[in-house]
Amino acid sequence: QVQLVESGGGLVQAGGSLRLSCAASGRTFSRNAMGWFRQAPGKEREFVSAISWSGGSKYYADSVKGRFTISRDNAKNTVYLQVNSLKPEDTAVYYCAARKGVVVFTNSVEYDYWGQGTQVTVSS
């Protein structure tokens, strides 16, 4: 059974930082694209960042570019999202997702496995 488990969320003040982790189990994702999405209350789920299987290609939503950094450790089957300079509008549930394939997509419908999410709340 494939599981993606996010951790690292919390309550921070504006300008603060967090490091989100996504640990995969049940199969290895070392050859698969992975991504982070988020969903704020009353809004649709939106793309945040994605990374190729090697880590050599990384993609970011314009709203987080320069503030968020995605990385992965294939030996640990884990993907990370370092979130810096947080803003109140970053408040959302952050979801980790994995694809069965190697191609990176920014559309959530292309992802096959999802975690349960971790809450990030940024106070002003």
- In this predicted structure, the answer to whether residue 1 has a pLDDT above a threshold of 90 is no
Q: How far apart are the first and last CA of the chain?
A: 40
**Structure confidence at residue 6 as a pLDDT band (50, 70, 90):** very high
- Per-residue confidence (pLDDT) for residue 27, from 0 to 100: 84
pLDDT in tens, 7-41: 999 999 999 999 999 999 888 888 999 999 999 99
The dihedral of CA 62, 63, 69, 71: what is its sign? negative
Q: Write out the two tokens for 45.
A: 């789920």
Bridge partners (DSSP) of residue 60 are 49
Calculate what percentage of the chain has a pLDDT beyond 90: 93
| Mean pLDDT for all residues in the chain | 96
- Per-residue confidence (pLDDT) for residue 78, from 0 to 100: 96
Number of C-beta neighbours around residue 46 at 10 A:
14
Q: What average pLDDT does the segment 86-102 reach?
A: 96
**CA-CA distance, 78 to 63, in Å (whole number)?**
24
CB 70 within 8 Å of CB 94: no
pLDDT in tens, 42-75: 999 999 999 999 999 999 999 999 999 999 999 9
